[in-house]
Structure 1
Amino acid sequence: MDKNIKILIPEALPEWTDRIHNGPMKEVWNGDNDNLPTLELTPPQKGLKSEFIDGAWYWVVGCEKCLGSSKGWDYFVCDEHNICIDCKTNRSEVIGTVWGTKGGFRCDPCQTALSLKLKREALEKVASDDYDEWDYKQNDEIVCPHCASSYEPDEPSDGKETCDICGGEYELEIEYSVTYSTTVVGERITLDLLENE
């Protein structure tokens, strides 16, 4: 996409400053202002966004990959860069689910292949005859007893869990340990103080 695209948006008046991006494919002006009409527009092509320049609203390039400023989680993506990160299939040609990931998305066949690869690698870490249930007790993080993958959950709770890597189910029990801390109140009593009394 040409980085110098600049298309006037005559429908958006210059005095309208209340504009939000409603997803990467819609711009909304005055959505929260009852005194002005609400305007919803779709950019003329993917990867463009609205920007206020020199007293007017314009469609300009928003695709971070086109601009060379991508940090991996891009909001605006043009058709050219809207491709599976593994097989490079354009999103318009993908059938089925897409999986968002850093750098764009992964199509379902590529995600399935990756999941199988990760599962195989994880299961290879734990030999079938090398299982000891004590290896999975009292750990600082959750460790799957099927494949030894470890993680810290967002909000853990006791109960049945399913491993994101191997798909194995296991029972999670959260264990708490009690520790004690003390601090001196007033002056610390020492042997020297006792002998001076």
Structure 2
Amino acid sequence: MVSRIDGEIIRDVINDPRLFSGIERARSGKVQRFGKRIVQGGKCIQECDFEITPPEKSWYSKEIDGVWHWVEGCSHCNGSPKDWDYVRCDKHDVCVDCGVDREHATKSPGIDGVGAVWGCRGGWRCNDCQEQINKKRLAEAEARIVPDDEYDEMDFWHENEARCPWCKAEINTDESYDACDEEHECHECERTFKLTAEHSVSWTTIRSVK
């Protein structure tokens, strides 16, 4: 029978003489840092005493009954997959659509040419799979765009919800309550439009009694 703690598999005892019951522990990626770290005024004045890298990247350290153990942090290995894991094992750290691992996954262009995969619910998605989703979304949005001779701008005036005047997609206006001809790009059809917040004022009067 597999031993567990809080639903996670206990992998092994950590054999390191520097560890003792009650020592402070912090996680930094897969690295486990032990000892007190002191920060004052946003500046670190004392680093942890030492650090240990686990045998597997998804393992993390946990004190159990006064003894430090390696515990499985990959929710898939533990049998209860989560949408968001702190870290996953190599077997389960794959694209949610095609299953390619990180080493062989296509990357999206990044800053200074450094590529990255796309974070998403359930893990991450390689660039090839994300591009397929983008193309499908763009095609569906383009299909909703009516020709210029059928477009009536009044259909988009004084609406309760902002919509893209091209493809009719709903627009997030949480940070646009003071918008006045703000330039926006639609997240579905990728076309630009101008957004203005329309405000109305009403008045109430009541007789004063002397």
Q: Distance in 2 between matches of 1:38 and 1:177?
A: 61
Q: Return the match for 1:61 from 54, 64, 72.
A: 72
> Map of 1:43-122 to 2, 5 A cutoff?
43-96=54-107, 97-122=116-141
Match of 1:28 among 28, 33, 37: 33
Give the whole-Å Cα distance in 1 for the aligned partners of 2:205 and 2:21: 65
Structure 1 residue 41 displacement after superposition = 2.9
Distance 1:39 1:131, change over 3 A: farther
Q: Are 2:33 and 2:52, in contact at CA under 8 Å, matched by a contact in 1?
A: yes
Alignment of 1:120-135 (within 5 A): 120-128=139-147, 130-135=150-155
Deviations 1:20-64 (A, max 9, x none): 2223x2222322376884323332212112211111222210101
Q: Where do 5+ consecutive residues of structure 2 fail to align?
A: 3-8, 40-44, 108-115
Q: In the TM superposition, what is the alpha-carbon distance from 1:112 to its structure 2 partner?
A: 1.0
**TM (normalized to structure 1)?**
0.79
Aligned to 1:148: 168
TM-score (norm 2): 0.74
Q: Quote how far apart the aligned CAs of 1:9 are.
A: 5.2
Q: Which residue of 2 aligns with 1:6?
A: 12
Q: Which amino acid aligns with 1:84?
A: C
CA contact (8 A) 2:146 2:166 kept: no
- Does the 8 Å contact 1:7/1:60 carry over to 2? no
- 1:66-108 Cα shifts (integer Å, max 9, x gaps): 1122331122211111111111101121242211000110111
Greater alpha carbon shift after TM alignment, 120-129 vs 27-36: 27-36
Partner-residue secondary structure (3-state), 1:126: coil
- Which protein shows a greater Rg? 1
Count how many residue pairs are aligned between Structure 1 and Structure 2. Answer: 183
Q: Where does structure 1 differ by over 4 angstroms across 4 or more consecutive aligned residues?
A: 33-37, 180-186
- In 1, Cα distance between equivalents of 2:202 and 2:59: 57
Identity %: 33
Structure 1 runs not aligned, ≥5 long: 187-197
Aligned counterparts of 1:181 and 1:68: Cα–Cα separation in 2: 61
**70-79 or 121-130: bigger deviation:** 121-130
The answer (yes or no) to whether the contact 2:38–2:46 under 8 Å persists in 1 is no
3-state secondary structure, aligned to 1:15: coil
Q: Secondary structure at the match of 2:62?
A: strand
Higher helix share: 1
Conserved? CA contact 1:87–1:110, under 8 Å: yes
